[in-house]
Structure 1
């Protein structure tokens, strides 16, 4: 409704003001003496996240880093959280993570990136999430902003990254693939591609987008129900379910929940645990950077298979160390090493690659619904681990981590046998690789890819005309006319 009344840019400007209001409320709550302003501030931030989900992909990216850093920084600094604030905070977290950070940002970057850089740019969001967590851990130290009187200031820091993004992102064009396939705006598509690609020849890329558009039975975005019933993408949907559920069921949440207890059992004093936690944050960043800079060389499959396999080995190692630590003193340190190994293995591949592959396995019409399915299962699995793990730990004791060992090995095996490598593949080529497994053929016109691709359009008689490089801009004017 707001987008219809004010337009996308107008809604963007008006909704972004909410972030500054929210940050101000949270920052002034201590000085005014009204702690309920924290709840209001976080509620306003949640409204802002919902508004962004009503806009196009580019405009949804604005608060991805800002709210994520706000979420991570707020948790360790509130000594006596209000019940209402806890509820609102979790609602905001789900809207932000599932709607923006973990869905829209990888989708947007995957659509604007050339295929040889799609993996690198697809892992950038997970890198900045790790950096946000690391910065929040540093600022949350008792010597910095971890004291009770400083936490309102800590929460108000959300306005800093928001301001930076607000100043920079309006200068970026919308996704060219979104403009061409969904909006049919060739003029804006060419302008966006020239902006993103600089001096690179864009004819081949536009031809690849047109080929994807012709392969679609409908340009209309399919619903989640239609996605689940579509036999032509059956194995893609199953793969998205497996990797997104495996990401959360791998045991990473259980490790994060009980990291402090494991460190204390290893002999680290309570006063030093916070510094050890900061160290694990640094390991997350380093491991994420390793995955980001190697994904275009080794591919997606090795990072996922290696990451899940290494996490499974470390889960088995934690079980062994917990069983033997009463008899073998150095097993306390083995448990710490295994915790660090699980975190590193997770950040190298399983932390970011599932969101990247969710976009790669589908074409334009199915991609948004695929992210909805993946994000919903991701959060459902997260909730399941948080709810079930305490009971599992009470009943199975040290052997509870063997459950995660089995899940990690199972997911790694599924990826090895089912999911093909998508490195340097177009979205149409990836769909063709799944076509035989789905026992179907792609709909629409199948055109060969040649070395000298030209832009094509239908003339007034319905025939296909090929436009060369010199006629490209004339073609855009004809299309708009």
Structure 2
């Protein structure tokens, strides 16, 4: 996940240098010495190429997200992460060599391949952490995925400064091959997911050894028995893992996948990508000098890291839904203030712009930055989790691409009002979170699934934020029971349907 953050932040600072490289390559290919020659790429074409350089990363992410679920089932969570390191290394080498080869296309291809790698990571990393973490530590440990993203973002922004690697952009882009190389080595000292080993590979002994290493105790049989209970119940009812179509046709899958998708959209279409990708441009448009604008951009990354650390204890004490809603409402208010600050000129307005943008990042880090990854993994059981994550992550990366490639054109059209569309979207996301998203803090998957039947029509109510009466917290986290059809061959009763949905 560090690579994800690094590649989000690294492309911001060297924009002017890389744009100059694109123009130089075009001039050399056409053997033109006159900078005003009409055969040269127009400014609009160069802007489009730059938008592709920025957003192609998200296209690769969509593809990586689509294959990540399959990869996790085929070779395991750890095995998939190991293979994924080589994808990242190939992409980094291409970007590093682009200057020597005088090819801006290699930057585009390299960022696409890096995007594929990051897309796979956004599936496998949260899934792996969710499956190896104890229920009472699942939230706090899940936030560390986002912490890795924010730390990578900060490192990318700092290294892009003029005094460091700002002018050495091939090294700046290519140095990302170091983290996957280190990850490849470190993964040999990590265990595979015990749930995967037991439920997919049917190896009790390997699962036991993995749990002993994870928990630091020898007596792990009770936890193994809980996982096996889920497996035996699924087998006894002859239920196969759900297909992608089931997420549209099965009520107990459709409602949580809608929540997961909207949560992912709320992470990407809230204006934060405009700050990640184009914060330097935003600050320059506000009248700042280039050095001050670059420094303010680094401040964005630093605030992200600090506030993500702050959110680690809050996520288990305050809850997922509360933090996400708090973050969205705060961003909604500050998006209006950003619009005001961009519309006013002067030194005071410049300072105000930096303050409100940093405040915007604070609210993002507290809620929408980390909660969607965590809650998506929590809404589904072992059998449905891989496909659910693939669907949600595809929407995440798709919206990432949409925001990345459209923002420059929205900015040209709306000028200082560029954040108004995000203001409207933030209002809608906050309303959806308030009315539709259940609280998952400390709940088993059985309890979470039951929330979708807690009110007529299956929409979880605010009173449904507490576990249903009679649901035993000591019961296994990912399984439930199904009920046989009624004797008249009709549909199962509401109670039986509720029990059936817990299996997913």
Structure 1 length normalisation: TM-score? 0.73
Give distance in 1, aligned partners of 2:95 and 2:357: 21
Distance 1:210 1:437 in 2: 31
Uncovered stretches (5+) of structure 2, i.e. residues with no partner: 1-56, 459-469, 477-504
Q: Deviation string for 1:340-375 (max 9, x for gaps)?
A: 122222222212211111110011111111111111
Between stretches 312-321 and 380-389, larger displacement belongs to: 380-389
- Shift in CA distance, 430/90, structure 1 to aligned 2, threshold 3 Å: same
The Cα shift of 1:182 comes to 2.4
Q: 1:99 aligns with which of 95, 120, 123?
A: 120
Give the alignment of 1:294-305 within 5 angstroms.
294-305=314-325
Q: Which of 100, 103, 110 is equivalent to 1:82?
A: 103
Whether the aligned pair in 2 keeps the contact of 1:242 and 1:411 (CA below 8 Å) is yes
Q: Distance in 2 between matches of 1:419 and 1:144?
A: 44
Distance change in 2, residues 1:351/1:451 (3 Å): closer
Counterparts of 2:239 and 2:129 in 1: how far apart (Å)? 20
Q: Distance in 1 between matches of 2:130 and 2:285?
A: 43
The equivalent of 1:135 in structure 2 is 155
Q: How does 1:417-436 map to 2 (within 5 A)?
A: 417-436=435-454
C-alpha distance in structure 2 between counterparts of 1:274 and 1:98, whole Å: 28
Instruction: Quote the Cα distance in structure 1 between the aligned partners of 2:376 and 2:195.
Output: 16
Taking a change above 3 Å as real, the CA distance of residues 300 and 280 of structure 1, as seen in their structure-2 partners, is: same
Q: 1:306 to 1:218 in 2, by over 3 A?
A: farther
> Per the alignment, do residues 391 and 191 of structure 1 end up closer, same or farther by CA in structure 2, a change over 3 Å counting?
same
TM-score (norm 2): 0.70
Maintained 8 Å contact 2:91/2:111: no
Cα deviations by residue, 1:309-350 (Å, 9 ceiling, x for unpaired): 111111111112233x14x76233222212112222222221
Q: Does 1:240 align with 2:260?
A: yes
Paired residues of 2:335 and 2:419 also in contact (CA < 8 A): yes
CA shift digits 1:279-333 (9 cap, x unpaired): 221111111111123212211112211111111111111112233x14x762332
1:167 maps to what in 2?
Answer: 185
1:78/1:129 Cα in 2 relative to 1: closer, same or farther (>3 Å)?
farther
Say if 1:261 and 1:376 are closer, same or farther in 2 by CA, change over 3 A: same
> Which stretch of structure 1 is more off in the superposition, 103-112 or 54-63?
54-63
Q: 1:213 aligns with which of 191, 214, 231?
A: 231
Q: 2:424 aligns with which of 393, 399, 406?
A: 406
Equivalent position of 1:190 in the other structure: 208
Cα deviation code 1:225-272 (max 9, x no counterpart): 232322221210110111111111111112233311332244432133
Change (3 A) 1:438 1:254: farther
Mean alpha-carbon deviation: is it higher for 431-440 or for 228-237? 431-440
Which of the residues 265, 274, 278 maps onto 1:254?
Answer: 274
Root mean square deviation, CA, Å = 3.7
Cross-structure match for 1:332: 350
Whether contact under 8 Å (1:61, 1:104) holds in the other structure is yes
**Distance change >3 Å, CA 343–CA 178, structure 1 → 2:** same
Superposed displacement of residue 196, structure 1: 0.8
Contact kept, 8 Å, 2:338 with 2:357, in 1: the verdict is yes
Residues 133 and 396 from structure 1, CA distance in 2 versus in 1: closer, same or farther, beyond 3 angstroms? closer
